[in-house]
Structure 1
């Protein structure tokens, strides 16, 4: 399988440790940053524990950038959402959501701020197993469900199209925003090396 990975034997470990996080967004979701620049970021997501049993890993949201996801192991379902106009030909029923502006604390932001309500519809889903993937534009709304244990995803993230000082959006059916307590923990060097070795085994050949 061909992947857009740097040489894993020659990573800048100082940069990897600076930009990588355990329990990223939710418990059991690890984010390993392999390369980071203004125009291109390469990162791997690892899912284990309770996150594998959740109906959604995170709430529906948009992004600051366009990106491509490739499944390296396990399986994932990507779900797209839209606001009005809705479709009703086999599409799911539209539902009300609370809309939160999200300014990530990792960029000095204050987290979630409630900004109103909106009706959204999950109108499309795609399941991907090893070697398969999907593209997302920054303004598209989505979430994912992990379908198999030990799923690993590779993301190729392009340059920001939403400035860092502008919020992205997250949508919840709860009146409360997602709980951030206990999240965004740092890797030790040994933990990062273990994840890198896991990637090597998945991308060999």
Structure 2
């Protein structure tokens, strides 16, 4: 089983390294999200740069990057803690993509995808939390930070055996948002509906 776990960690990282934002922007002729807008290759920045449909495609693909390897590992009988490392590997692939010069996104959608195997009730709570924060304050990053911070608590009530791996994943995503946290404190963070005016 150890060899299987190591194999799936590698698969998850390689799968996560497929930068959906870069690929979709190239297909739609949108500015490179690594150098335009917030310079974050994620769905929110793609929305600002190219609109709703490309952003939805990026979001869907980024979620799948987390869901597929974790679901496969889950059905292979891998235990919760190793599953957590597999989920983290998928997120690290997104954050530091092998195929795109290790310049990736924040890992929120991919982290969400890794949590889907735990249950749709957890997914619903995370989406609701993110949506409420964005609705009232307009900051996607703040919504993500609050949602992932609450994810271990939600998990404790739904499937407590996954609390530790979810907490590990949450910590990774929060650390990745250190720049956003600084901008939020300084009131310099862009709101989700702010469009970037390209020259």
TM range (shorter): under 0.3
TM-score, reference length from structure 2: 0.24
Q: Which has the higher helix share?
A: 2
Q: Which structure: greater strand fraction? A: 1
TM-score using structure 1 length: 0.24
